[in-house]
Chains A and B, each alone.
Chain A
Amino acid sequence: MKVTLSWLREFAPDIDGDPVELGEILSALGLAVEEMEIIGDIVDGVVLAKVLDLRPHPDADKIQLVDVDSGDGKPLQVCCGAFNMAVGDLIPFATIGTTMPNGMEIAQREMRGQTSNGMCCSGAEIGFGDDHDGILILNDRVVDGAAIGAPLGEALGVQADVLWDLEVNANRPDAMSVAGVARDLAAALGVPFSFPSYDPPRSDESAADLLDVEIADPSLCGRFVATVLRNVTVGTSPAWIQNRLTQLGMRPINSIVDISNYVMLELGQPNHTFDLATIPNGRLRVRRAGEGETLTTLDGVERTLTAIDGVIADDSDQVVSLAGVMGGASTEISESTTDVLLEMAWWDPPSISRTVKRLNLPSEASTRFRRGADWGDNIDRAMQRFIQLATEQGAVAVTGQIDVAGTVPDRAPVRVRPTKVNGLLGTDLTAADMAGHLVSIGFDATEVDGDLDVIVPTWRWDAATETDIAEEVARMYGYANIVRTVPKGEAAGGLSEYQQARRLVREVLLGAGCDETLPMPFLAPGDLRSAGLPEDGVTLTNPLVHEESVLRTSLLPGQLKAIAYNQSHRSADVAFFEIDHVYLPSPEGQLLPDEREFLAVALAGEEAPAAVAVLDLLERALALPNVQLKPATPPGLHATRTAEVIIAGRTRGYVGEVDPTVLENYGVDGRVAWLELDLGEVLNGPHGSRKYTPISKYPSSDIDLAFEVSDSVAAGQVATSLRKGGGKLLQDVELFDVYRGAGLPEGTRSLAYRLRFQAPDHTLTDAEVAEARQSCIDTVAKQQKATLRG
């Protein structure tokens, strides 16, 4: 919402001060200043000029030659790049020597052999509105009697003014008007605020004889007021109205639309005008639409309505307007309109909101209705103001108005406990202090037994509870005056065990040289298929871009994209990790997806053992119990270089390499070693348990054993068998050599292990070591069909 200082002063003439300081006060009231600007301060040298002649430039297409009269009646040639002028138009003209607001100095110039003696200006160039398109045509904008050559400010009747662009929150319908902002600011400054009284002349005709309005659905419309204006001519508005609309960011349209917008901006009351000739018998009926009813709105679009939409229908029950949202085309004011039915109403905010959202039809009017307009005196005031402005332009208003009531919000007094308010705010205000703050912005507050009975004004639809009122007290008392304290609670802060373990995982992976990545969780359709994964990701119904419309079920696609991106930027062998959410399909009977926190490690240019080594680090760092690898062929991963990661008997993920076909699909060069774990399950499962075993004082014995093992048997399985065979005396198993080739049958390899035996309480005898050794050999032979090599 934009407001100007001069307009605010029409309601509170004593508002004064440094514009920046006033802006600070507005911000402290919750009306945050997004921008402040000094306007109407048109630079010296810009004058009102008249276009005398237009002709092509002999040597240029993009500019034309313009003769203007800049005050002396003589043609002055200018070269101009805009083509929206006609002979006779009045325009802003910067004379030679003028310094423009952007610092440019206007001088006599040669342009392709033609002299230019000044500059024709757009609105934006002279700081008058935001319009950059073409030269500002001022034919209907100048004040009466303005002379050609007059300083432009004088010709337009504008003076230097302050413009604030305010951010108005959704709970402040009142501040969507100049008057409402003035009320708040006046209260904060402690200066008087009042509405001017409008008392336009009325004819002998009576509104009651001309109009007949029925509210069929009182839940939709709280109040409906209407009257008639005759002798209306649809022309251009006086310069001062056009100037104010322009200043507040609205484009002048015609005299009736301009008054409508002016009244809305000034008093916050949206209003609607019908061509009375199109309303048979002056009858209107407010109701909900029937399913499938249609209306062509004044933007020319035929709308199909539903039972949630509020409408205004005519005598034959034809819908003529979408209540509070947009008028109908058939009853719109036109050049030939002479009689106008003027309507102002209060619409139920949720009803308006639903229709606006359903039809995606936001507007200045509906924005005010959605936040809750004023159903009280302000409607009568706005009617008077509209009629006053219209009659000043020759219209004739009939006497009185139709005023039909529906259901309006309850405004019974709200009981406010000062102790509760102080307890909420941390203040020490008396009931009288609070009442004073509330009364200053139009609330009514009466002390009753130490409490306050507060009547909330009709312009504050949103404020209806004790807490709402506490907020108003805080706002007017000033948030800055609230003494700062800290909670007296004795809660001990901390990270959960899970969160600490997750940080440890991150540290381990950083130490392993992996960079942490955080891709967005969106995938393109087909990304999962390209990764060999089922296409069962949750899809977005309103994605911004097609490429980001599926939620990932695995971290694999995102990691491969990141690797491909880096490879295409000449960073080949990246090592990445990621800890983030995946969204698995919803389990039966559950609405939300099965959201889990996964860990992925992707090592470009590395083979599977590198990923196993990372898993090994994690195993030790987290003290994961009983980690087993079992060859597996999950989708997306290398069929012969991947293993299931089994922790304490449960599958928690996969380690190995990415399937070469998948790498090809993603344009990744070389191999990618891969580890993906369901980190949530891992960290919520057993881990971190470490027990102390006293170090044996007795010597240990090392024995080396090499087995001929089929390629189908994993080395990990052999080690498991060795541990089983070695029993309690076996302290350590280390695979120290793998050999394939001469001397070994096809499809087998030699695995050599170093076993360390030790007892806690005595020196092992040769016989004990021999027995344990034999048990190892036997167990491996039996369980893994592997033979000891000679």
Chain B
Amino acid sequence: MALMISELEQTAAEATARLADVADLDALAALDAEFLGKKSALTTAKKQLGGLDPDERKAAGQAVNEIRKRVEAEIADARARLTATARAQQLEAERLDLTELRNDIRRGSMHLVTQSRDRLEDVFVGMGFTVAEGPEVETAWYNFEALNIPEWHPARGSFDTIFVNLGEPEEVMLRSHTSPVQIRTMENTEPPIYIVAPGRTFRTDTADATHLPAFNQIEGLVIDRGITMGDLAGTIDEFVRAFFGGEVKTRLRPSYFPFTEPSAEFDISRPDGSWLELGGCGMVHPNVLRNCGIDPEEWQGFAFGFGIDRLAVMRYQLDDIRELVNNDVRFLRQF
């Protein structure tokens, strides 16, 4: 029996030597079969243990088991080593330069004017307003007359209106403000009314770095019981703080618009303490309310308006407003 054990020790030493050189998992599987399989010396020796007398069998059994465990452990080590190497080789083979594919999926850019408009809408929606829209080609009634600007009024000239070849001369025009939307809303809706009306407006301004003949404005209109000029000033203040930041201050200065009275310009403060004129506002003129079938003794309200494009120009310090209509991707994709 001692001979058998010493042969097994020899076999184990051979296994150790060959495992050190094993090249891959397939070769390892072959070694596994050779040294631990059914026909291996270790398996055969275990079967032969039954023929020994009990005293000898115990000592021999322990020795065979010890050798087998050692070989098993060595094979497991080799398997772990080979598996790690194989995985490392696979990973190395799959190496990618991830910067090669960077621009495959590109999100488009939302136009700056839309971004500004959406932001404004969202702020006003948060303040309880809905968003009203209307046509860009309008009649003199909606663009002027209903707004208390009769045909002879000097203010008409200041709008530099673009007219179109429909109806009588100067009867149909490209709207010079979004105020016609206010009129249409008041005609079709019972107060209370809380709307903002964003949209494109038109003037006979030759396109240059600071002007476009077609540009975008947003106007607000509130009609309710007991609305005061204090509410107007407070609403503008609340909007400006929400949109520009809490540190920005507002002020109202007397001005004149035929459709509001009292009328005001509203300014916002710059960081250096100076004031920037942002837009116009005022209490809706009783004639305008009457023109829309609203009793000015029962309802009062205010309106305000300012440019959307200008906000985009200010925010990004654009040096040429025409970029907003050129649609050059080198511009569009910056935002």
Contacts and interface: CB of A to CB of B under 8 A. Distances in A.
A101 interface: no
B228 A548 contact: no
Interface in B169-203: 169, 171-172, 174, 192, 194, 200
B262 A518 contact: no
Contacts of A486: 231, 234-235, 238
B135 interface: yes
A586 interface: yes
Contact of B252 (A424, A479, A493): A479
Nearest to B109: A515
Interface string B122-153: 00111111110001111100000000001111
A577 B109 CA distance: 10
A640 interface: no
Interface stretch (B21-29, B37-45, B79-87, B159-167): B159-167
B263 interface: yes
Given A493-B130, A540-B164, A571-B329, A29 B137 contact: no
A539 B194 contact: no
A285 interface: no
B253 A493 contact: no
A767 interface: no
B126 A493 contact: yes
B294 interface: no
A84 interface: no
B209 to A, nearest CB: 16
Given A489-B192, A519-B327, A592 B233 contact: no
Contact of B230 (A370, A483, A593): A483
Interface in A569-619: 569, 571, 574-577, 581, 583, 586, 591-593, 595
A267 to B, nearest CB: 21
A521 B129 contact: no
Interface stretch (A393-401, A506-514, A523-531): A506-514
A475 interface: yes
B292 interface: no
Interface string B194-217: 100000100011110000111000
Given A425-B262, A426-B231, A516-B332, A521 B125 contact: no
Contacts of A506: 110, 114
Interface stretch (B6-14, B57-65, B219-227): B219-227
A586 B300 CA distance: 36
Interface string A11-46: 000000000000000011110100000000000000
B118 interface: yes
Contacts of A519: 325, 327
Contact of B108 (A349, A482, A499, A512): A512
B48 interface: no
A423 B229 CA distance: 9
A520 B162 CA distance: 14
Contacts of A468: 261
A452 to B, nearest CB: 17
A118 to B, nearest CB: 39
B313 to A, nearest CB: 14
A514 B213 contact: no
B75 interface: no
A62 interface: no
Contacts of A488: 224, 226
Interface residues of A, number: 90
B70 interface: no
- Chain B, interface SS category: mixed
Given A513-B108, A575-B108, A591-B171, A475 B130 contact: no
A485 B156 CA distance: 33
B233 A484 contact: yes
A467 B261 contact: yes
Contact of A489 (B110, B224, B228, B328): B224
A27 to B, nearest CB: 6
Nearest to B275: A27
A429 interface: no
B192 A491 contact: yes
B229 A424 contact: yes
B252 A487 contact: no
Contacts of A479: 229, 233, 251-254, 262, 264
A518 B230 contact: no
A191 B150 CA distance: 38
A551 B164 contact: yes
B273 interface: no
B102 interface: no
B262 A471 contact: yes
Interface string A408-437: 000000000000000111110000000000
B315 interface: no
Contacts of B114: 506, 516, 518
A538 interface: yes
B333 interface: yes
B73 interface: no
A29 B254 contact: yes
Given A32-B265, A170-B256, A479-B233, A495 B121 contact: yes
Contacts of A426: 228-231
B285 interface: yes
A284 B227 CA distance: 53
Contacts of A538: 137, 164-166
Contacts of A541: 163-165, 169
B113 interface: yes
Given A32-B265, A475-B262, 17 more contacts: A169-B256, A169-B263, A170-B155, A424-B300, A425-B228, A479-B252, A487-B222, A510-B108, A510-B110, A513-B107, A516-B110, A522-B214, A538-B165, A541-B163, A591-B139, A591-B167, A591-B172
> Which A-B residue pairs are the 6 nearest by beta carbons?
A426-B230, A30-B254, A426-B228, A169-B256, A484-B234, A350-B152
19 contacts: A354-B151, A426-B231, A465-B286, A471-B263, A474-B254, A479-B252, A489-B128, A495-B131, A516-B332, A517-B332, A518-B111, A539-B165, A565-B326, A565-B328, A569-B330, A576-B327, A591-B139, A592-B135, A593-B166
